[in-house]
A and B are shown apart, each in its own frame.
Chain A
C-alpha cells in the first residue's frame, strides 16, 4: 500500500471486480506505474489538475445536453482524471469479440432485409422481428454499398465479479460519445504529459481518419472528391458538440435537413454557388425523422425523397437505415445464436441473461423477482424509461407493471449486474466507482477496425450502477497498453 493521503482510504467494494486491485489487495501490474506517479503528487496538485480539466472542458465547449433539466442546455460531461487502464491481452480479447459480434450483426441485417434465412430456420422468432418498430419494410430488398449496414458501432461492455466481459447493449444506429474519447485523451495529455509515453499507451487519434476513409469508400460516384456531409438534428441535440467536432476533424460539411434537397432521386446540398450533389451522408438523425415522405410525416429534420435516392443507390447513408431491428433489446438475446448460425463460431463476449416479457412465464418470473431486476424498454436508450428494481418503491413498480402489460413485447428484464469498479479521484481521495466501456468499431470495405480505447463511463454517485451521461454519469480516459 502507498502511504500518500489520497490512497489510504481506498476500499475495494466486496464482490465486485476492481480494475486496479486484485483479490489480495495488491495493485495490478498495469496500474503500478500510474499509481506510483500519482502517489508522488500532492493532493493540492491533483486538485489543481482536476480544476484545470474542468476549466478546459468548459472553455473548449466540450458539452452535452440534458433534456428537461431546467438548467442551461449545455453541461460539461464530468471527467475523472484517473485513467482506466486495459491490458494488451484484455484488449486483444475485446477486439476479437467485438469484430465477431459485429460481423454476425451485419450478416443478420443483410439477411433480414433480403432472404430471411435465419427466420425460415427458426433461429430468431419471426414475431420478435415483425413486431419490432425498427424493422423497416421500406428496406426490404434494398441493396446497400458493400453490404455494410453497421459502419459505426458503439457496443457497451461491462465486467462481472470475475472480470469476464459481457455485452450490455449493441448500439448500431447513431452511437454517440466518440468525441469524448478523443477529448478525454487530449485533456490527459495536458494533465499528465509525460505519463502517456512512459506507460506505452496506444493512440486513439486515428479515429476520424479511419472514419473519413470509410466514408470516402462508400461514394456511389467514382470521382476524386465526393461530397460527404454530417447530417445533424441541430443545436438542441444532446450530441451537437460531437457532431461539430467530428465534422471539423474530418473536414466534412455539417448540415441540417433544411440544407439538403432531393431532385430526381439525387441528393443536393444548397450552397452559395448553387446545388452541389451529395454522395455520402453520415447522419445523426434517427430513421423515423430521416424522410418525412416515407417515415414520420411531421419531421422537420429530414430530407423529403431521401429514401428514394438511397434505394436507387445515388447516395450512401451511414449507418444504414433500418439497423434498429438488430440492436432492439428483445433481439439482443439472440445475438449469440446469430454468431453460431452465420459464423459457425462460439461467441467470445457473453450476453447478459435476458427475460422476454412478451413470454408469459418469463414475465411472471420477472414480476416475482422484480427487486433484483432491471427492466428496460426494448427500444429505449440513454437510460431513459428503465426501472431499477432494487431502487424503486412499491408505487413505481406497480405503475411500471401496468405499462408492461399494455405492450409486453416492448420490455425486457435483466438481473441487476454488478459492474466492475475503477479508482476515481473524488474529494481529494481515490474511491472506487462503477464503470462500463464503449469501444467504437468502424466497419468499411476493408473490414472492421477498432481504435484501441473507447469511452469509459463512470457512475459517479457512490453505489450507483447507472453510468448514462443523462443520468448523472461521468467519464474517464481509457488507456489500452501496447
Chain B
C-alpha cells in the first residue's frame, strides 16, 4: 500500500505577450479500488476558475480560461496518492474459452472503442509481425505479455525522435520512440488480435532499479482479460503496470488523455517544459517552486515548431483553406 507524493509542473514560456488562453487539463488521478487520492493541490498562473466534468471515458477533465496578457503560464499539480497492488490473473479458464469470450465483446460498449483502429500504410506489415509473434496456444494474457516484450526488445527508447503527432507508420519505420509511441503500438497490436486495449496516461514511480519514464508523464497500455478485467502493461519497461503506476486517464489514444493542452492568441513561439517528481511518503520532501525552477531541470521540453517564418502568411492560408468548408 505505497503512498506517493507527486509534483507535476507544466510551464509554458511565450516569446511575447499572449492572451485569450483556453486550456484543458486531465491531471486528476483516477479513484477506484486500486488507487485513491488523499490530497490534491492545483495552482495555476492567474488563479483561474477550473471547471471539471467527467468525460466519455470516465476521466475527470478540467477546463479554464485566462484572458489577461501573460508571457508564461505554470500549472503546478501536487497530489498525494495511495495505491494498492492488483492481484494478477490466475488463468484458470482454458485459452480457447478466453478467446471466445473476447470475440463476443466486439460490438459492446465500451470495448468497441478499444478494438477499433484506423487504416494506415504499414498495416499489412504489422499484421505479418503479429502472425509471426503470436503463439497458437497462448492465452490473451500471455499474448499481451509477449507483445509487450516484443515492443520492448525491438524498439529503441529514444527521447526526442518523436512528438505527439508522430504516426504509427513513422514509429514502425524509426523502430524507436518514447513511452507514448510504445503504448500506441502495443494497443494497436492487441486490438488487431481482437483483445480490447486502451491507452493510459499517468506517472511511474521509481523503484530501486530505476525506470524509464521517470521525471515526466508516462504512458502505457491496459488490456481487457476475460474473467479478470483491465490489466496494465508497460511496454517501455516490459513490466506489469501495477502499484508503482499512478493512472491519470484512460482513452483510445494520447489525444483522449492529453494531460495538458491549450490554445492562445499571440506570438507563434512558445516553450513547453514539464517536470514530474515522485517520492515515497516517508522520504524527506523538497517541494519545488514551480515558478522559479531553472529550465535545465525539466526533462520534457519542446519548442513549438516554426512552420513558416511568415506567420501572417500562414494565418492567411489557414483562414482561406478552412473557410472553404462545404456547406450542406
- Contacts from A to B (Cβ < 8 Å): 65, 67, 116, 119, 125-127, 130-131, 137-138, 140, 154, 171, 173-176, 233-239, 242, 261-265, 284-286, 289, 292-294, 297-301, 304-305, 308, 311-312, 327, 380-382, 384, 406-407, 470
Contact of B325 among A137, A237, A308, A380 (CB under 8 A): A237
Residue of B67, B264, B319 with highest tally of chain A CB at under 10 A? B319
Given A126-B109, A261-B20, CB of A234 within 8 Å of CB of B323: yes
Decide if B312 is an interface residue (CB 8 Å cutoff).
no
Decide if B77 is an interface residue (CB 8 Å cutoff).
no
Q: Is the interface of B mostly helix, strand, loop or mixed?
A: mixed
> For A300, what are the chain B residues with a Cβ–Cβ distance below 8 Å?
315, 318-319, 322
Q: What 0/1 pattern do residues 45 to 72 of B give for CB contact below 8 A with A? A: 0001101010111000001010100000
Q: Is the interface of A mostly helix, strand, loop or mixed?
A: loop
Contact B263 A293 (CB under 8 A): yes
30 A-B pairs with C-beta separation under 8 A: A119-B109, A130-B112, A137-B56, A137-B57, A154-B328, A175-B327, A175-B328, A176-B327, A234-B319, A235-B323, A236-B319, A236-B323, A236-B324, A237-B327, A238-B326, A261-B67, A262-B65, A263-B65, A284-B327, A292-B263, A294-B24, A300-B315, A300-B322, A304-B20, A304-B22, A304-B263, A305-B65, A311-B53, A327-B328, A407-B119
Residue on B with the closest CB to A284?
Answer: B327
Given A238-B327, A305-B65, A382-B327, CB of A293 within 8 Å of CB of B319: no
Q: How far is the CA of A402 from the CA of B261 in the complex (A)?
A: 37
> For A311, what are the chain B residues with a Cβ–Cβ distance below 8 Å?
53
Question: How close is B105's CB to chain A, nearest CB, in angstroms?
Answer: 12
Contact of A382 among B264, B319, B323, B326 (CB under 8 A): B326
Decide if B88 is an interface residue (CB 8 Å cutoff).
no
Residue on B with the closest CB to A242?
Answer: B327
Q: How far is the CA of A80 from the CA of B56 in the complex (A)?
A: 50
Question: How close is A363's CB to chain B, nearest CB, in angstroms?
Answer: 16
Interface residues contributed by chain B, number (CB under 8 Å) = 37
Decide if B89 is an interface residue (CB 8 Å cutoff).
no
Q: In the complex, which residues 108-159 of chain B have their Cβ closer than 8 Å to any Cβ of chain A? A: 108-109, 112-113, 116, 119
Residue on B with the closest CB to A240?
Answer: B323
Q: How far is the CA of A277 from the CA of B6 in the complex (A)?
A: 39
Contact of A130 among B24, B113, B119, B264 (CB under 8 A): B113
Contact B323 A171 (CB under 8 A): no
Contact of B107 among A65, A126, A304 (CB under 8 A): A126
Residue on B with the closest CB to A119?
Answer: B109
Residue on B with the closest CB to A126?
Answer: B107
Smallest CB-CB A-B distances: 4 pairs: A304-B22, A305-B22, A137-B56, A176-B327
> For A470, what are the chain B residues with a Cβ–Cβ distance below 8 Å?
326
Q: How far is the CA of A299 from the CA of B319 in the complex (A)?
A: 9
Contact of B324 among A125, A173, A237 (CB under 8 A): A237
Q: In the complex, which residues 24-57 of chain B have their Cβ closer than 8 Å to any Cβ of chain A? A: 24, 48-49, 51, 53, 55-57
Question: How close is A409's CB to chain B, nearest CB, in angstroms?
Answer: 10
Decide if B320 is an interface residue (CB 8 Å cutoff).
yes
Given A298-B318, A304-B263, A308-B63, CB of A264 within 8 Å of CB of B49: yes
Given A130-B113, A238-B327, A284-B327, CB of A140 within 8 Å of CB of B322: no
Residue on B with the closest CB to A64?
Answer: B327
Q: How far is the CA of A126 from the CA of B105 in the complex (A)?
A: 12
Q: How far is the CA of A292 from the CA of B320 in the complex (A)?
A: 17
Contact of A293 among B48, B261, B318 (CB under 8 A): B261
Q: How far is the CA of A270 from the CA of B201 in the complex (A)?
A: 38
Contact A384 B326 (CB under 8 A): yes
Q: How far is the CA of A470 from the CA of B328 in the complex (A)?
A: 11
Contact A265 B63 (CB under 8 A): yes
Residue on A with the closest CB to B321?
Answer: A236
Q: How far is the CA of A292 from the CA of B24 in the complex (A)?
A: 11
Contact A131 B323 (CB under 8 A): no
Decide if B23 is an interface residue (CB 8 Å cutoff).
yes
Contact A263 B67 (CB under 8 A): yes
Question: How close is A331's CB to chain B, nearest CB, in angstroms?
Answer: 15
Contact A127 B67 (CB under 8 A): no
Given A262-B22, A300-B318, CB of A289 within 8 Å of CB of B325: yes
Q: How far is the CA of A438 from the CA of B116 in the complex (A)?
A: 36
Residue on A with the closest CB to B20?
Answer: A261
Q: How far is the CA of A304 from the CA of B19 in the complex (A)?
A: 12
Question: How close is B223's CB to chain A, nearest CB, in angstroms?
Answer: 20
Contact of B119 among A292, A312, A406 (CB under 8 A): A406
> For B57, what are the chain A residues with a Cβ–Cβ distance below 8 Å?
137
Question: How close is A377's CB to chain B, nearest CB, in angstroms?
Answer: 11
Given A261-B67, A264-B65, A308-B51, CB of A297 within 8 Å of CB of B263: yes
> For B261, what are the chain A residues with a Cβ–Cβ distance below 8 Å?
293, 297
Contact A171 B328 (CB under 8 A): yes
> For A292, what are the chain B residues with a Cβ–Cβ distance below 8 Å?
263
Question: How close is B16's CB to chain A, nearest CB, in angstroms?
Answer: 18
Q: How far is the CA of A383 from the CA of B328 in the complex (A)?
A: 10
Decide if B262 is an interface residue (CB 8 Å cutoff).
yes
Q: How far is the CA of A301 from the CA of B320 in the complex (A)?
A: 10
Question: How close is B193's CB to chain A, nearest CB, in angstroms?
Answer: 18
Q: In the complex, which residues 284-324 of chain B have their Cβ closer than 8 Å to any Cβ of chain A? A: 315, 318-320, 322-324
Q: How far is the CA of A73 from the CA of B53 in the complex (A)?
A: 44
Question: How close is B319's CB to chain A, nearest CB, in angstroms?
Answer: 6
Contact B324 A238 (CB under 8 A): yes
Contact B319 A286 (CB under 8 A): no
> For A171, what are the chain B residues with a Cβ–Cβ distance below 8 Å?
328
Contact A285 B119 (CB under 8 A): no
Question: How close is B68's CB to chain A, nearest CB, in angstroms?
Answer: 10
> For A239, what are the chain B residues with a Cβ–Cβ distance below 8 Å?
327
Question: How close is B252's CB to chain A, nearest CB, in angstroms?
Answer: 9
Q: How far is the CA of A289 from the CA of B324 in the complex (A)?
A: 12
Residue on A with the closest CB to B113?
Answer: A130
Residue on A with the closest CB to B112?
Answer: A130
9 additional contacts (CB under 8 A) given A137-B55, A233-B324, A263-B65: A176-B327, A235-B323, A265-B65, A285-B325, A297-B261, A300-B318, A300-B322, A304-B22, A327-B328
Contact of A286 among B23, B49, B112, B325 (CB under 8 A): B325
